[in-house]
């Protein structure tokens, strides 16, 4: 009844305003206003001059123009004023005619922001327009169903929105546009739009019990379009729990998303088969706090993921059973409920949807309990037996093969002694290489442990006491060892005779380019003779200078990361520290992979070096190894002619 009297009051008010003034007088008044407000050139000194422009044709086609309202009927503070009138006028008070809507608006989140003086809060004009207001049924109206998302996107779009307390609100319009609802609406279909879920003037936050998007009201909101699904959900254990006040229970948006609702056939959707267990059901049913809080069955996600069904869905199998295949999508009920799909009376039929000859024995063979290793005693016994079997069998195989490997390593060492050796590295070089090996290995381990803390080997080190503090200290200690070894190497190659000879032999030259081409040709069976290398071949020179360059890069970036405040004082640049971190990380990958792929191949896996070169331990090479691979150097050492020195 109150709504009826409100409508009647508005009709009487508008009628009195329209009929109480002569049409000619209204036209004259409006013409006077349009003398200035018909062109933006009069308001170029303002920030938004177009806001002051009134298009007469648009106004006459609006709901207010059709009623014959004049300018001063909305701009009441202009009544009786002369021209030019004052600037900074009050905004029109829509509540004079729309009092009931104004009351609803003031109780909404938009009205709350406006009443607190937030300039970002939307007003009537923000959504409905100013002088071109149309009925919401008109196709050109800003509030027409097909235009609502664009209207809301002006605030909730790509740029985002800040509250008066600088809290960022989500860019919901972008998510909505990519959703099934947004795609259907953009195609001209009658799909859910902003006001269907949030309301028209009574928009409220999700924490408000009266809000349409409050968890307790979500099923009713979605049920406006999805009535049958709403009934299923309300009967489910999730709906029952939510009505009881247990807000941990999922509502529609917890499974489907809020604005970015995608089809279950979309691979990016949380409800797609491969994502259901891990992204939709798992976050709750694998949460230890929720499992303990409600005494739920634990480990259900792990038992599913580690089953045939789980493997198949992760591989992309869309015909494989997922959570909803057994528990249904919306009518989820506990096994004790006689209506549940997993009730003892119904579970055979549930299994039979995929496995037609299923019977009670088959249904009992596949549950979360039977597939769980911790809950199933048979599985526990089998696992224990196999763990011991693997340890004994594979451990025995490893020991057996190590004995064989050791035989050939020792045999190679003895044969080298028998046939004579050539000094390759002196004691100082052996120590340098040993320090480099230890420091590099420890830096790799402690560095990548920071980057990949979830890796199994990092967790194993953590159980041995490698905390973050210990890891950081070890990384810095071995960085100092690497720097000390590098400084000693500089002393060695500059101030010792053998060091100077070594560095001269390491200098790249044109012959290295020729040797590289000839070596590739030989190994492609394009050359008959093997390349005669000097003291160091092109592979060793490339590795040496890459080591020098890499060490320099790692030391510089390492110091920046170790002493960031001091570094930016020396080089005051905002990008210095993050750039150093990025370079340090990827240079570490480059160096590690180079050692594994390049260095280990030539000193371990190369057929001439396998099973291991002893040079890094003894500092010596056999005369045969030198003659075979470093023929030019062999000729220099022995004075032999080219033919006898060639392999």
pLDDT tens for residues 178-187? 999 999 988 8
What residues contact 112, with CB distance under 8 A and at least 6 apart? 106, 121
Domain shared by 512 and 594, yes or no: yes
Q: Identify the segments of the chain with pLDDT beneath 50.
A: 1-9, 11-22, 647
pLDDT at 609: 86
Give the bridge partners for 622, in sequence order.
Answer: 421
In angstroms, the CA 350 to CA 369 distance is 17
Domain shared by 432 and 562, yes or no: yes
Asked if residue 454 is part of any domain, the answer here is: yes
pLDDT at 4: 46
Domain shared by 366 and 449, yes or no: no
Give the bridge partners for 161, in sequence order.
Answer: 169
Report the candidate in 323, 214, 206 with the shortest Cα–Cα distance to residue 270. 323
pLDDT at 33: 83
Domain shared by 548 and 640, yes or no: yes
Domain shared by 294 and 425, yes or no: no
In angstroms, the CA 207 to CA 222 distance is 17
Asked if residue 194 is part of any domain, the answer here is: no
Q: Extract the tokens encoding 415.
A: 């044969």
pLDDT at 24: 52
Helix axes 576-594, 538-562, angle to 10 degrees: 150
Q: Label residue 135 exposed, middle or buried (CB < 10 Å: 0-12, 13-18, 19+).
A: exposed
Domain shared by 337 and 459, yes or no: no
Domain shared by 461 and 361, yes or no: no
Q: Extract the tokens encoding 463.
A: 């159980």
Map residue 416 onto helix, strand or coil.
helix
> Domain tally for the chain?
2
Domain shared by 352 and 275, yes or no: yes
Q: Extract the tokens encoding 619.
A: 């500092």
pLDDT at 27: 64
pLDDT at 311: 86
pLDDT at 28: 63
Give yes or no for a contact between 540 and 598, defined as CB atoms under 8 angstroms apart: no
Residue with tokens 């922001």: 113
CATH of the domain at 455: 1.20.950.20
Domain shared by 580 and 490, yes or no: yes
Contacts 24+ apart (CB under 8 A), 586-590: 587/550, 587/553, 587/554, 587/557, 588/443, 588/444, 588/447, 588/448, 588/554, 590/550
Q: Residue 604's domain spans which residues? A: 421-645
Asked if residue 407 is part of any domain, the answer here is: no
Q: Extract the tokens encoding 17.
A: 């305003």
Provide the whole-model pTM.
0.71
Domain shared by 619 and 471, yes or no: yes
Quote the DSSP letter at residue 488: H
pLDDT at 601: 94
Q: Is the backbone peptide bond immediately before 637 cis, with ω within 30 degrees of 0?
A: no
């Amino acid at each position: 009844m109150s709504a009826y009297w409100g409508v009647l009051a508005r009709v009487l008010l508008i009628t009195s305003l329209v009929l109480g003034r002569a049409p000619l007088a209204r036209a004259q008044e409006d013409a006077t206003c349009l003398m200035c407000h018909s062109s933006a050139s009069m308001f170029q000194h303002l920030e938004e001059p177009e806001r002051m422009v009134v298009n007469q044709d648009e106004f006459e086609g609006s709901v207010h123009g059709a009623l014959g309202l004049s300018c001063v009927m909305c701009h009441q503070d202009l009544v009786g004023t002369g021209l030019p009138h004052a600037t900074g006028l009050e905004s029109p008070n829509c509540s004079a005619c729309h009092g009931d809507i104004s009351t609803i608006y003031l109780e909404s989140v938009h009205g709350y922001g406006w009443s607190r003086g937030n300039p970002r809060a939307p007003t009537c004009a923000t959504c409905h327009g100013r002088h071109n207001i149309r009925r919401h049924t008109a196709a050109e109206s800003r509030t027409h169903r097909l235009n609502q998302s664009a209207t809301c996107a002006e605030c909730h779009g790509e740029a985002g929105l800040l509250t008066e307390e600088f809290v960022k609100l989500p860019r919901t319009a972008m998510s909505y546009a990519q959703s099934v609802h947004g795609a259907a609406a953009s195609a001209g279909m009658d799909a859910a739009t902003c006001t269907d879920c949030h309301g028209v003037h009574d928009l409220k936050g999700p924490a408000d019990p009266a809000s349409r998007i409050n968890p307790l009201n979500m099923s009713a909101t979605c049920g406006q379009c999805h009535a049958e699904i709403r009934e299923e959900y309300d009967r489910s254990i999730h709906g029952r729990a939510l009505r009881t006040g247990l807000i941990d229970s999922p509502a529609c948006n917890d499974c489907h998303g809020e604005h970015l609702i995608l089809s279950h056939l979309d691979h990016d959707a949380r409800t797609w088969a491969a994502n259901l267990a891990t992204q939709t059901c798992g976050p709750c049913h694998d949460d230890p706090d929720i499992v303990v809080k409600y005494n739920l069955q634990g480990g259900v996600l792990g038992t599913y993921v580690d089953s045939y069904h789980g493997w198949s869905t992760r591989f992309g199998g869309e015909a494989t059973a997922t959570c909803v295949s057994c528990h249904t999508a919306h009518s989820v009920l506990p096994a004790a409920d006689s209506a549940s799909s997993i009730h003892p009376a119904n579970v055979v039929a549930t299994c039979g949807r995929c496995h037609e000859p299923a019977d009670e024995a088959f249904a009992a063979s596949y549950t979360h309990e039977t597939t769980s290793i911790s809950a199933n005693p048979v599985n526990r016994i089998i696992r224990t037996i196999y763990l011991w079997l693997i340890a004994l069998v594979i451990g025995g195989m490893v020991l057996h093969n190590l004995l064989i490997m050791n035989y050939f390593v020792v045999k190679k060492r003895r044969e080298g002694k028998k046939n004579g050796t050539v000094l390759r590295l002196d004691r100082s070089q052996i120590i340098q290489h040993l320090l480099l090996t230890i420091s590099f290995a420890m830096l790799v381990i402690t560095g990548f442990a920071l980057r990949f803390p979830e890796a199994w080997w990092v967790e194993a080190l953590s159980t041995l006491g490698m905390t973050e503090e210990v890891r950081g200290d070890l990384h810095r200690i071995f960085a100092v060892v690497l720097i000390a070894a590098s400084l000693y190497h500089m002393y060695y190659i500059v101030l010792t005779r053998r060091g100077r000879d070594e560095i001269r032999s390491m200098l790249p030259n044109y012959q290295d380019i020729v040797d590289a081409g000839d070596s590739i040709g030989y190994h492609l069976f394009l050359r008959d003779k093997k390349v005669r290398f000097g003291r160091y071949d092109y592979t060793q020179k490339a590795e040496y200078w890459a080591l020098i360059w890499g060490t320099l890069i790692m030391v510089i970036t390492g110091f920046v990361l170790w002493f960031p405040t001091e570094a930016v004082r020396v080089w005051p640049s905002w990008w210095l520290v993050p750039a150093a971190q990025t370079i340090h990380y990827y240079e570490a990958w480059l160096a590690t992979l180079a050692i594994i792929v390049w260095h280990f191949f030539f000193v371990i896996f190369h057929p001439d070096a396998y099973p291991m070169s002893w040079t890094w331990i003894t500092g010596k090479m056999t005369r045969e190894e030198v003659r075979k691979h470093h023929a030019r150097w062999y000729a220099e050492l022995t004075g032999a002619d080219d033919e006898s020195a060639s392999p």
